[in-house]
Structure 1
Amino acid sequence: MAGVQDQLEIKFRLTDGSDIGPKSFPAATSVVTLKESILAQWPKEKENGPRTVKDVKLISAGRILENNRTVGECRSPLCDVPGGVTTMHVVVQPPSLEKEKKLMSEPQQNKCVCVIL
């Protein structure tokens, strides 16, 4: 019976409302492994798909899941029903947006010149 509880049935909801899964994962599975699974199963016909795990954010129970955590550590006692399917939301953040954010966050040089007469 403990083996059944160590497995979670997870489906991944994409931003357009379609799903990948559900698929069963051991509780010891890392979030990075979930992201790799999403990359492998990403529908080929969808535009702007993720290229790497860094492009993918997973959200469960309102929290962004950290790559170094396991599925078991990310469980929400309020949302996860034993024997039920857990839905995780997938957000794709293209690398170009990250570069733009870095440029915006860099301090701007002041180009004003004060002249005292």
Structure 2
Amino acid sequence: MAGEELLELKFRLTDGTDIGPCKYEPATTITALKESILAQWPQEKENGPKSVNDMKLINAGKILENSKTLAESRVPVGENPGGVITMHVVVRPPTADKGSEKPQSDSPKPNKCACSIL
């Protein structure tokens, strides 16, 4: 893999702060990126992710799949030579105890449309 260029990525959090930039090989999986983000997550921030499944990575408007690599995810390899690619990190909000919400989730939600076509 000596001929492949490293991708310089930074990860933008919802409050506008960044993690990185760091360099990664195009063969790096999205799961590995999420593990790196989890390890570098600022401890002073509330409601941080507890696992890689609690976050989503978005690049160019596309949610990246955990099992794919950067190259397979069509991250623009080499299109921005020397530039930093920014990916957005979305954290799933913490869920309440499942036992306390069970009565609500058992009842199906009615489909109600409030659209008005003029």
> Could you say whether these structures have the same fold, taking a TM-score greater than 0.5 normalized by the shorter chain as the test?
yes
Shift of 1:77: 4.2
- Give the match for residue 63 of structure 1: 62
Deviations 1:32-53 (A, max 9, x none): 0000000000000000000000
- Give the match for residue 89 of structure 2: 90
Question: TM-score of the superposition, structure 2-length normalised?
Answer: 0.76
- Give the match for residue 9 of structure 2: 10
| 3-state SS of paired residue (1:2) | coil
CA contact (8 A) 2:47 2:94 kept: no
In angstroms, what is the RMSD of aligned CA positions? Answer: 2.6
Which of structure 1's runs of 4+ aligned residues deviate more than 4 A? none
Deviations 1:9-56 (A, max 9, x none): 000000000000000001000000000000000000000000000001
Letter in 1 for 2:21: P
- In 1: Cα distance, 2:83 partner to 2:7 partner: 8
Shift of 1:74: 1.8
- Give the match for residue 28 of structure 1: 27
Question: TM-score of the superposition, structure 1-length normalised?
Answer: 0.76
- The unaligned stretches of length 5 or more in structure 2 are 109-118
- Structure 1 or 2: more helix by fraction: 1
Shift of 1:75: 2.9
Would you say how many aligned residue pairs link Structure 1 and Structure 2? 103
- The unaligned stretches of length 5 or more in structure 1 are 109-117
- Give the match for residue 52 of structure 1: 51
- Give the match for residue 114 of structure 2: none
- In 2: Cα distance, 1:107 partner to 1:82 partner: 53
- Give the match for residue 71 of structure 2: 72
- In 1: Cα distance, 2:9 partner to 2:92 partner: 21
- In 2: Cα distance, 1:12 partner to 1:87 partner: 6
Point out the structure with max Rg over C-alpha.
1
